[in-house]
Structure 1
Amino acid sequence: MAATRAAGVGVEARIEVNGPVDDAAGAVAYRIVQESLSNVVRHAAGAACSVDLRQDGGELVVRVRDHGPGAQPGRGGDGPARGGDGSGLRGMRERARLVGGAVTWGDHPEGGFEVRARLPVRSAP
């Protein structure tokens, strides 16, 4: 998050994890946050951003939301967003799938863009 802040993006982080998380699931959560913040710097530079990571029973819930311009018109949801080819977003989805989780993304109803993930605290065998 320090590199994101150094790039001029204000980041507010809330982390509430109360139990053990296996290495694979933790690494996937880290990479999803990392890629999401990189996307904020690329596509919503200077916008405020929030990172929420919490444990909900046997799942990690990750949410990264910026208050920038959102996706390009006609894009968002599951397609390429913000003018890129969407490979970073698809990579997040693949990583999550490998541990038994899921990732979605799109414009937030109150503005900006949001990435959401649910990952098991114990990765799939």
Structure 2
Amino acid sequence: MPAQVTTLGYARAAARALRPGGTYAANLADAAPFPFLRSQLATLAACFAELCLLAEPAVLRGRRFGNFVVLAGDRPPPLAALARRVAADPFPARVVTGREVAQLVGDARPVTEETAVPSPRPPADAFRVG
């Protein structure tokens, strides 16, 4: 993800572009202790009323580098249906919302044009099978 699409200004523009009830979706990659993810969640929380995070449990626990899908909008997504769908996926995921998202954000600050960095590159063996 290029640095210019990680900023508060970009997130504000995305929020303005959405229709009421629309959903902003981003695929983020990071590894524990999740500095990039945390700053992106802080940035999106400054612009959207609702955040929802989808990720494989091992990635959430920091066991490996991986992808996180963030959904943001002015209302929550259909959480029960979403949780069922991602749990049934060939690579099951969890739905994280509310207090758990706030705990992930912690003391992270929204990203400005001055502090923006591109998403981290995965380690060479991050997506190796077998």
TM-score interval (norm. to shorter)? 0.3 to 0.5
Structure ranking higher in helix proportion: 2
Which structure has more RCO (C-alpha within 8 Å, separation ≥ 6)? 2
TM-score normalised by L of structure 2? 0.31
TM-score normalised by L of structure 1? 0.32
